[in-house]
């Protein structure tokens, strides 16, 4: 691999067990010394990279610019990934994801493709309005869940359009639909690399899920203790704690 590689995970203090499982499972499967970093909103604020007005309405975070709820602290900070990485290939993932395979395969999958600025699983995901996870509002927007796993080519000229000012001033729904990119600059990853528990259905020839994503609620949350792959999640959490 002739490019610098890095991995970034969204961090939310309400989801520390998820973050531990995500980071530990990625590291455990890695076959190369790729750094795995957290994107922490308070640190982004302290560094002057994140200046959006964010309110707390009870247990719900609220983004003033979007006039919409934020289900996690990394709802917008995820888009800072190419700025934090600086160069090379940078993988972002929500923290409610568990790796079941070596993510080096993702980097290898896109290696040499200089046409695309970002790769993702292009879900057709239209959840009903209501609540998810630990009482957070379920919001609907174009290209829902595309941004939950993103592989950036930080050196692609198109990603230079994604400025820090844009990240701090545009509505979140525009960022989540990759507004800084043309459609042909967005590459497609196989569905198994962002398998939405309870939603994604894989054909036999697609293989097993490589990245499991509990987008509705992770096994550590009340009401989701017995969702698919929950036992693997608990084993990973125990392995992290040992």
Backbone φ and ψ for 21, nearest 5 degrees, come out as -65, -45
Range of the domain at 212: 5-241
What is the tens place of the pLDDT at every residue in 72-117?
A: 999 999 999 999 999 999 999 999 999 999 999 999 999 989 999 9
Give the pLDDT score at 127.
61
Q: What is the CATH number of the domain that holds 113?
A: 3.90.550.10
CA distance 132 to 138: 6
Regarding pTM above 0.85, the answer is yes
Identify whether the C-beta of residue 186 lies closer than 8 Å to the C-beta of residue 120. yes
Chain Cα centroid distance, residue 211: 11
Q: pLDDT-derived band of residue 44, with 50, 70 and 90 as boundaries?
A: very high
> Looking at the 3D structure of the chain, how many domains does it have?
1
Q: Could you read off the pLDDT of 147-202 as tens digits, one per residue?
A: 999 999 999 999 999 999 999 999 999 999 999 999 999 999 999 999 999 999 99
- Tokens of residue 113, six digits: 């493709």
What angle separates helix 230-241 from helix 16-29, to the nearest 10 degrees?
Answer: 80
- Per-residue buried b or exposed e for 143-159, using 16+ beta carbons within 10 Å of the residue's own CB: bbbbbbbbbbbbbbebb
How many other CB atoms sit within 10 Å of the CB of residue 239?
13
Helix residue ranges per DSSP H, the chain: 16-29, 41-46, 74-77, 81-85, 104-110, 164-169, 172-176, 230-241
């Amino acid at each position: 691999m002739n490019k610098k590689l890095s991995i970034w995970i969204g961090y939310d203090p309400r989801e520390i067990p998820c973050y531990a499982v995500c980071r530990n499972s990625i590291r455990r499967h890695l076959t190369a010394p790729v750094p795995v970093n957290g994107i922490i909103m308070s640190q982004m604020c302290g560094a002057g990279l994140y200046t959006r007005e964010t309110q707390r309405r009870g247990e719900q975070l609220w983004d003033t610019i979007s006039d919409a709820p934020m289900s996690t602290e990394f709802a917008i900070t995820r888009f800072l990934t190419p700025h934090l990485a600086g160069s090379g290939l940078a993988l972002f993932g929500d923290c409610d994801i568990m790796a079941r395979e070596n993510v080096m395969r993702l980097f290898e999958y896109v290696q040499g493709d200089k046409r695309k600025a970002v790769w993702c699983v292009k879900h057709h995901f239209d959840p009903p309005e209501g609540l998810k996870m630990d009482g957070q509002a379920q919001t609907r927007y174009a290209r829902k869940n595309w941004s939950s796993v993103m592989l950036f080519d930080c050196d692609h000229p198109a990603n230079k359009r994604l400025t820090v000012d844009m990240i701090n001033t545009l509505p979140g729904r525009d960022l989540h639909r990759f507004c800084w990119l043309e459609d042909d600059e967005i590459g497609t990853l196989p569905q198994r690399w962002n398998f939405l528990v309870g939603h994604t259905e894989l054909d036999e020839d697609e293989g097993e899920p490589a990245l499991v994503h509990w987008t509705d609620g992770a096994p550590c949350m009340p009401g989701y203790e017995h969702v698919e792959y929950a036992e693997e999640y608990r084993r990973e959490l125990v392995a992290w704690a040992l």
